[in-house]
């Protein structure tokens, strides 16, 4: 009896609900696969950094599964459609009795999985399919208003969410035990489709720039768990005080691990509770503040399930479809390259381009700048982020962009517009972060660095003048939003 574990964005052994279920039946042999769909990654604009990260983790998973005597194959396909065909014949050729996977909530992924569920009636050997809400603390559509609808505002969602979360038992399951050695014969037709993890790593590393590779989080499940442990014991207590200062870099840096499934959110909360047992009763604590961020993650995942159009480039607030964007591509290029003449924006964009990660405060600042200072459609920014972030995630990225553009849930009113210079003065007061990523400004004093040309920049400073004037653009943006709103 073959149980097939289909790995997707859940690349770990510990607390993997589908894997735990797959190995439970001692009479069954568990076989695991991962289907590499590069064309789908292209369609989803998955960054090279993310691909290299996933490839490295597949290599690590491969070694760990081998230790457990669980055969594991990374199979080559193109896109989701082709991957379904491959999976279907894999199931039939190997007489798979049961198929196990963890759910993904994006529109294309849901459509793919819906088709898989239909196989129950079509493939004789397949007795059942088991899928799990493994990437979330609480399954989508389980936290609803009294009218039975998804919340559109974060705070009431969080309060209701906490109630559900504390009522359920948060269990973290162990990695599977080592299996007895058992021969599994791969059908000949699949042999040519098996990719070696080493080759996959080499392929993506060759296509990823060196600075991104050097900055990737260390890849393995053990590294992910270590980072979580260190963060919870050393930094969580003060998270509320330090999380907004990019130069201090004291957030957990767990995002890529969570996105690609090297860690589960349950592990995060269990570890947090172990170190801070009163976290749920201390809403003013640093630990609770961090828990709150994990709930933002859930909020955005629940939202894309309740409102699938969010996955299709649609805003949450209808009238914002009427905004007339200026979409000046030369300004967009300057933003992408970190050459806007606004030091904090440029430092942040260069951090993204060089490392594949950006601090949350800066994600808010640069997103607001693109949309409200350059009047460029938020969707262009959203897609640029996906193409660069190692932790790129449709739900969180879309949520963040729509929040910044005031087109989404819990929108700050559109007339509240970040001033990039005051953000810089407030969150990088001494200019340390700017100096790190904009070396042209390294010699400027902390009073000049936030706005060099307003304060007698040194002669010959090799740095662009501001590409727009914040005050003027603020007015233009407000007018564009008001006009759009008046159309209804
Ligand atoms: P921590 O501060 O330590 O937070 C812990 C975890 O909580 C994070 O790892 C993440 O999983 C979750 N989290 C924290 N803040 C948020 C948030 N605002 N929304 C959703 N989840 C959150 N996060 C992504 O994981 N992928 C993205 O593609 C992404 N795009 C973003 C785009 C914009 C415009 C904005 C404003 C935010 C975006 N975020 C995204 C959220 C947030 O910036 C990152 O999760 C965070 O910076 C990751 O760093 P960390 O792991 O040190 O976070």
ipTM confidence = 0.99
Distance from residue 291's CA to the centre of ligand 1 (Å): 12
Q: Are residues 130 and 1 in the same domain?
A: yes
Tell whether ligand 1 has an atom less than 6 A from the beta carbon of residue 208: no
Distance from residue 255's CA to the centre of ligand 1 (Å): 6
The tally of domains found in the chain comes to 3
| CA gap 189, 391 in Å, rounded | 35
pLDDT tens figures, 342-395: 999 999 999 999 999 999 999 999 999 999 999 999 999 999 999 999 999 999
> CB of 145 within 8 A of CB of 136?
no
pLDDT tens figures, 298-351: 999 999 999 999 999 999 999 999 999 999 999 999 999 999 999 999 999 999
* 335 carries an active-site annotation: no
DSSP bridge pairs for 7: 34
C-alpha 70, offset from chain centre:
29
DSSP symbol at 373: I
| CA gap 370, 399 in Å, rounded | 16
In this prediction, residue 69 carries a pLDDT of: 96
Choice from 234, 239, 398, 400 to test ligand 1 binding pocket (greatest atom count within 8 A of CB):
400
Q: Would you say residue 411 lies in a domain?
A: yes
> CB of 47 within 8 A of CB of 392?
yes
Q: Would you say residue 179 lies in a domain?
A: no
In this prediction, residue 410 carries a pLDDT of: 65
Which of 273, 306, 339 is where one domain is finished? 306
| CA gap 359, 486 in Å, rounded | 35
Q: Report which secondary-structure segment, H or E, holds 208.
A: none
> CB of 406 within 8 A of CB of 481?
yes
Ligand 1: which atom is nearest the Cα of residue 231? 3
Nearest Cα neighbor of 172 from 268, 295, 288 is: 268
Nearest Cα neighbor of 35 from 68, 82, 70, 69 is: 82
Q: Would you say residue 249 lies in a domain?
A: yes
Q: Are residues 43 and 6 in the same domain?
A: yes
Distance from residue 223's CA to the centre of ligand 1 (Å): 19
Q: Would you say residue 360 lies in a domain?
A: yes
* 41 carries an active-site annotation: no
* 207 carries an active-site annotation: no
Q: Are residues 412 and 453 in the same domain?
A: yes
Tell whether ligand 1 has an atom less than 6 A from the beta carbon of residue 254: yes
| CA gap 412, 403 in Å, rounded | 7
Q: Would you say residue 194 lies in a domain?
A: no
| Strands of the 128-132 sheet, one edge to the other | 72-77, 29-37, 2-7, 96-102, 128-132
Nearest Cα neighbor of 329 from 380, 367, 372 is: 380
Q: Are residues 127 and 140 in the same domain?
A: no
In this prediction, residue 455 carries a pLDDT of: 74
Q: Which two tokens stand for residue 370?
A: 């693109």
Nearest Cα residue to atom 42 of ligand 1? 360
| CA gap 135, 161 in Å, rounded | 15
| CA gap 100, 10 in Å, rounded | 12
Choice from 232, 245, 255, 427 to test ligand 1 binding pocket (greatest atom count within 8 A of CB):
255
Q: Are residues 346 and 267 in the same domain?
A: no
Tell whether ligand 1 has an atom less than 6 A from the beta carbon of residue 401: yes
> CB of 423 within 8 A of CB of 344?
yes
> CB of 35 within 8 A of CB of 87?
yes
Given the residues 6, 290, 296, 357, the one annotated as active site: 296
Ligand 1: which atom is nearest the Cα of residue 294? 7
Q: Are residues 437 and 338 in the same domain?
A: yes
Q: Would you say residue 196 lies in a domain?
A: no
* Residue 186 CA: distances (Å) to CA of 7, 189, 199, 248, 263: 18, 8, 20, 51, 30
In this prediction, residue 411 carries a pLDDT of: 56
Nearest Cα residue to atom 9 of ligand 1? 255
Nearest Cα neighbor of 350 from 334, 370, 331 is: 334
Q: Would you say residue 67 lies in a domain?
A: yes
- Name the stretches of the chain with pLDDT < 50: none
Which of 277, 306, 335 is where one domain is finished? 306
Distance from residue 149's CA to the centre of ligand 1 (Å): 25
Q: Are residues 148 and 102 in the same domain?
A: no
Nearest Cα neighbor of 298 from 164, 112, 107, 131 is: 164
Residue with tokens 């082709």: 82
Q: What is the CATH number of the domain that holds 6?
A: 3.40.50.620
| CA gap 209, 158 in Å, rounded | 39
Nearest Cα residue to atom 16 of ligand 1? 293
In this prediction, residue 155 carries a pLDDT of: 94
Ligand 1: which atom is nearest the Cα of residue 397? 30
Choice from 257, 293, 311, 427 to test ligand 1 binding pocket (greatest atom count within 8 A of CB):
293
In this prediction, residue 456 carries a pLDDT of: 77
Q: What is the CATH number of the domain that holds 143?
A: 1.25.40.80
Residue with tokens 């870099």: 249
Q: Are residues 280 and 156 in the same domain?
A: yes
**Which residues, at least 6 apart from 403, have a Cβ–Cβ distance to it below 8 Å?**
364, 409, 410, 411, 412
Q: Are residues 227 and 333 in the same domain?
A: no
The mean of the pLDDT values for the chain is 96
* 325 carries an active-site annotation: yes
* 378 carries an active-site annotation: yes
Distance from residue 472's CA to the centre of ligand 1 (Å): 31
Q: Would you say residue 211 lies in a domain?
A: no
Which of 276, 306, 336 is where one domain is finished? 306
Tell whether ligand 1 has an atom less than 6 A from the beta carbon of residue 60: no
Nearest Cα residue to atom 49 of ligand 1? 253
Q: What is the CATH number of the domain that holds 363?
A: 1.10.579.10
Given the residues 6, 335, 357, 401, the one annotated as active site: 401
Task: With H, G, I as helix, E, B as strand and everything else as coil, classify residue 165.
Answer: helix
DSSP bridge pairs for 33: 6, 73
Q: Are strands 128-132 and 29-37 parallel, antiparallel or unpaired?
A: unpaired
Distance from residue 36's CA to the centre of ligand 1 (Å): 26
* Residue 478 CA: distances (Å) to CA of 403, 405, 472: 16, 12, 10
Q: Are residues 253 and 157 in the same domain?
A: yes
Q: Are residues 331 and 224 in the same domain?
A: no
In this prediction, residue 422 carries a pLDDT of: 98
| CA gap 437, 69 in Å, rounded | 46
| CA gap 404, 367 in Å, rounded | 6
Phi-psi region of 460 (alpha: psi -120 to 50; beta: other; left: phi over 0): left
Given the residues 106, 378, 403, 451, the one annotated as active site: 378
> CB of 160 within 8 A of CB of 151?
yes
* 119 carries an active-site annotation: no
Q: Are residues 348 and 259 in the same domain?
A: no
Taking residue 41's Cβ as centre, other Cβ atoms within 10 Å add up to 17
Domain of residue 379 covers: 318-486
> CB of 160 within 8 A of CB of 141?
no
Q: Report which secondary-structure segment, H or E, holds 75.
A: strand 72-77
């Amino acid at each position: 009896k073959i149980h097939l574990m289909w790995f997707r964005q859940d690349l770990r052994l510990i607390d993997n609900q589908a894997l735990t279920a797959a190995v439970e039946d001692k009479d069954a042999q568990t076989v695991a696969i991962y289907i590499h769909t590069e064309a789908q990654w292209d369609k989803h604009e998955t960054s090279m950094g993310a691909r290299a990260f996933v490839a490295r983790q597949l290599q690590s998973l491969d070694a760990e599964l081998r230790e457990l005597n669980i055969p594991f194959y990374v199979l080559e396909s193109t896109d989701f459609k082709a991957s379904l065909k491959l999976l279907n014949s894999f199931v039939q050729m190997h007489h798979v009795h049961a198929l196990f996977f963890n759910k993904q909530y994006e529109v294309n992924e849901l459509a793919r999985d819906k088709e898989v569920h239909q196989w129950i009636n079509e493939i004789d050997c397949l007795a059942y399919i088991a899928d799990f809400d493994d990437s979330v603390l609480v399954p989508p559509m389980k936290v609803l208003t009294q009218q039975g609808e998804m919340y559109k505002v974060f705070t009431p969602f969080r309060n209701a969410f906490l109630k559900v979360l504390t009522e359920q038992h948060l269990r973290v399951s162990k990695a599977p035990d080592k299996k007895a050695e058992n021969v599994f014969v791969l059908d000949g037709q699949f042999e040519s489709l098996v990719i070696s993890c080493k080759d996959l790593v080499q392929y993506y590393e060759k296509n990823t720039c060196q600075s991104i590779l050097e900055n990737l989080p260390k890849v393995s499940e053990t590294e992910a768990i270590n980072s979580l442990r260190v963060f919870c014991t050393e930094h969580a207590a003060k998270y509320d005080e330090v999380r907004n200062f990019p130069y201090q870099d004291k957030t957990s840096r767990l995002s890529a691990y969570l996105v690609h499934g090297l860690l589960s959110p349950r592990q995060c909360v269990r570890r947090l509770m172990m170190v801070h047992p009163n976290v749920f009763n201390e809403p003013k604590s640093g630990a609770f503040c961090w828990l709150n961020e994990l709930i933002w993650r859930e909020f955005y995942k629940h939202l894309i399930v309740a409102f699938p159009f969010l996955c299709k480039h649609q805003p949450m607030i209808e009238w914002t479809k009427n905004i007339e964007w200026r979409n000046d591509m030369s300004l967009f290029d300057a933003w992408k390259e970190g050459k806007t003449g606004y030091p904090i924006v440029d430092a942040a964009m260069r951090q993204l381009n060089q490392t594949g990660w950006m601090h949350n405060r800066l994600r808010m600042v640069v997103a607001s700048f693109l949309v409200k200072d350059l009047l460029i459609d938020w969707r262009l920014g959203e897609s640029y982020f996906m193409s660069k972030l190692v932790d790129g995630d449709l739900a969180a990225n879309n949520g963040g962009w729509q929040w910044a553009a005031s087109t989404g849930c819990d929108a700050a009113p559109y007339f509240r517009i970040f001033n990039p210079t005051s953000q810089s003065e407030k969150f990088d007061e001494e200019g340390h972060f700017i100096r790190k990523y904009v070396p042209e400004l390294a010699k400027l004093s902390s009073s000049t660095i936030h706005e060099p040309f307003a304060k007698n920049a040194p002669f010959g400073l090799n740095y662009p003048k501001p590409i727009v004037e914040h005050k003027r653009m603020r007015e233009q943006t407000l007018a564009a939003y008001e006009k759009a709103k008046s159309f209804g």
